[in-house]
Amino acid sequence: MAQQHLDPRNSTAVAADALAGYLRAQATEFLRALRTHRETGGGAAGGAEESTDAALALRRSARRISGTLHTFRPLLDADWSESLHPELAWLSGTLGREHAYAARLDRLVAALNRLSGAAAALPSQAGAPVGGRTAGAERAGPSGPGGTGTRAPATPDRGNLTIGAAKAGALLDRQLTLARTRAHSAALQALGSSRFHAVADSVAVLASEVPLTPTAAALDLRPLAAAAHDRLRDAVAGLPLLTAGHPYNAEALIHGLSPDTAPHPQDAPWHQVRLLLRLHRYALEVLHPQAVPVDVRLLAAGEALNRHRDASEAASAAAAAARTPRIAPATAYALGVLHADQRHEVEAARFAFQQSWQKETVSTS
């Protein structure tokens, strides 16, 4: 079904009405999530899980509105669009951080367990609690920490670990839980700020009236969606896919020990493709609001890029933890193994993307 949707040029003309309808629907979702967030106490004890879900839903709508303003800019009132766009980016960035730190800790703890041959212990290792209950509870199994109110075992099971791995886990737990707690506070503060209230007011207006340009009604959305698709294709064409498609090319760990502590520059083009793929997906949602879920291979490519981003950031977190002063050599060793393991994951994600993208282009060309 979704096959012909991949290239926006393949569909019939889509009028500006579809854009207005999509933006109204997303604005409505945004307001609903905001209401839920307020009703569940905004992260206070007793409602943290629903509140976290609501914050993620808020972010989901903010990203879609933001991406749509970007792709279909010529059809929208320029002043309005240009003032709202950066505010939505700020909001989704602020709301996403807590979840990202929790997921990063989960990923690193899972890797430490796997590297210690304790993979069976994984399902109960989801995130540590912030604000009463654990934001990671939805990922935990029946025996997980959700709802108990006690501290979740975010550090690996020491019985199966060397002291180095156990200490590395404890260090990462400390650092990432601290970062997560700060992100949680920052998100709560942001949601109470006058800056956020201005965004919410703009979105409330959008829910009833989308500020289209006077000529928008006569325009076809497809060329703009196609341009978003072209930007994605061009960016993908710039990726080293030939190398990525060759298993065990050992590219991702190059510079693994370089003195540069900045994020890997080789990852940046992949992160950029990830963003462009998301914009393409949102443009398809505008054009084909009924075509949910979108093409599974597009989702697979997006998931590979998410995994790439997650592994890249987890590898950086392990490297950063290794620069903590006065750690034991065994801890540093475990963090080195962990860093390399996550860079290996980065390489695996590139391979997975290359495989799904290849299928993509073969079947749509």
Give the SS3 label for residue 212: strand
76 touches a copy of itself by CB under 8 A = no
| Residues 124, 144: Cα–Cα separation, whole Å | 5
Pick 198 or 328: Cβ nearer a copy of itself: 328
Please tell me whether residue 304 binds a copy of itself under the rule CB under 8 A: no
User: Maximum distance among all alpha carbons in the chain?
Assistant: 68
- Using CB under 8 A as the binding rule, whether residue 114 contacts a copy of itself is answered as yes
Task: Measure the CA–CA gap between 92 and 84, rounded to whole angstroms.
Answer: 12
Structure tokens at 64: 């879609």
Nearest to 146 by CA among 132, 164, 158, 160: 132
41, 74, 96, 256: which one binds a copy of itself (CB under 8 A): 256
Long-range contacts of range 241-249, CB-CB < 8 Å, 24 or more positions apart? 241/354, 241/357, 241/358, 244/347, 244/350, 244/351, 244/353, 244/354, 245/351, 245/354, 245/355, 245/358, 247/351, 248/347, 249/347
Span from 18-26, 281-289, 297-305, 345-353 in contact with a copy of itself (CB under 8 A) = 345-353
State the minimum distance, in angstroms, from the CB of residue 100 to a copy of itself.
Answer: 23
Q: Per rule CB under 8 A, is residue 337 in the interface with a copy of itself?
A: yes
Would you count residue 333 as binding a copy of itself (CB under 8 A)?
yes
Q: 133, 322, 353, 360: which one contacts a copy of itself (CB under 8 A)?
A: 322
Residue 178 binds a copy of itself, judged by CB under 8 A = no
Q: Is the distance from CB of 19 to CB of 289 less than 8 angstroms?
A: no
When asked if residue 316 is in the footprint of a copy of itself (CB under 8 A), the reply is no
172 binds a copy of itself (CB under 8 A): no
Does 264 contact a copy of itself by CB under 8 A? no
Span of 74-82, 181-189, 335-343, 357-365 interacting with a copy of itself by CB under 8 A? 335-343
Q: Tokens representing 33?
A: 């999530």
Among 348, 353, 357, 360, binds a copy of itself (CB under 8 A): 348
Smaller CB separation from a copy of itself, 5 or 309: 309
